[in-house]
Amino acid sequence: MDEIQNQEQNQTQRPGMCFHYPNEPIFTIGERDFYCGPADLANAYSDWAAVIDCSGGLYLGENKGMSFPPGAERLYDHVIPVYQVAWADFSPPPVKFAFWKQLLQSLPEGPIVICCEGGHGRTGTAMAALLLASGEYKSASEALAAVREKYCHKAVETEEQGQYLIDYSDHLGNDEYMSSEDIEKALEDVTQS
């Protein structure tokens, strides 16, 4: 993971953005170690077992406004599975609930990165959904709290993303109920950041 450390040291931070280049996995599910961050994290390390690109391929492999340090590896230079979800920024996932379990089952063992443009809303929502799919967390609020504690307090940016996780948790039979006020309170620290 030296590439990630070098990426972090070379990255020029843009105002209002935070960057995450973890040297350790954020979560482990089975034999899969999950790392989360912005799209340039996926390009910073060549030995990913897979990439889950929640921006739908808009930022991987080409420099589309992202800042890549000199010598950064590009995904298209390596043959690794890239799972792309065409997912609009600040929106809930455009996938059916069954997608998350199918995705989790199809992922290879090893280090996996989940990314989007900034590494917060879509990335955090995807990680929380995978935690729910794994059965390791029984409610959206538990999964959201875990992602924010272990990854970033800005993960899951909108009420719609939070509601998607609650609906997914309900779909799994976890029967979690949160009112609109509860969702707003749970997302308060994100919307005020």
Q: What is the pLDDT of residues 106-126, one digit of tens each?
A: 999 999 999 888 889 999 999
User: What whole-number distance in Å separates Cα of residue 111 and Cα of residue 98?
Assistant: 23
Q: Residues with Cβ < 8 Å from 37, sequence gap 6 or more?
A: 19, 20, 21, 22, 113, 114, 115, 119, 123
Phi, psi of 32 (to 5 degrees): -115, 125
User: What whole-number distance in Å separates Cα of residue 154 and Cα of residue 167?
Assistant: 20
| Cα-to-chain-centroid distance, residue 47 | 18
Assign 28 a pLDDT band (cuts: 50, 70, 90): very high
Query: Tell me, what CATH number does 171's domain have?
Result: 3.90.190.10
User: What whole-number distance in Å separates Cα of residue 120 and Cα of residue 6?
Assistant: 21
Assign 23 a pLDDT band (cuts: 50, 70, 90): confident
Q: Retrieve residue 30's tokens.
A: 């089975």
Instruction: Look up tokens 């509860």; give the residue.
Output: 182
Count of residues in the chain: 193
Mean pLDDT of 65-69: 39
Whether 79 shows a pLDDT value over 50: the answer reads yes
Whether 133 shows a pLDDT value over 80: the answer reads yes
Confidence (pLDDT) at 180: 65
* Count: domains in the chain: 1
Confidence (pLDDT) at 19: 59
Confidence (pLDDT) at 69: 37
User: What is the residue range of 127's domain?
Assistant: 2-191
Higher pLDDT among residues 29 and 68, named by residue:
29
Assign 66 a pLDDT band (cuts: 50, 70, 90): very low
CB neighbour class for 126 (10 Å; exposed up to 12, middle 13-18, buried from 19): buried
pTM for the full predicted model = 0.78
pLDDT tens per residue across span 140-189? 989 999 999 999 888 999 999 999 999 999 999 876 566 667 666 666 64
Closest to 125 in 3D by CA, of 90, 73, 83, 174: 90
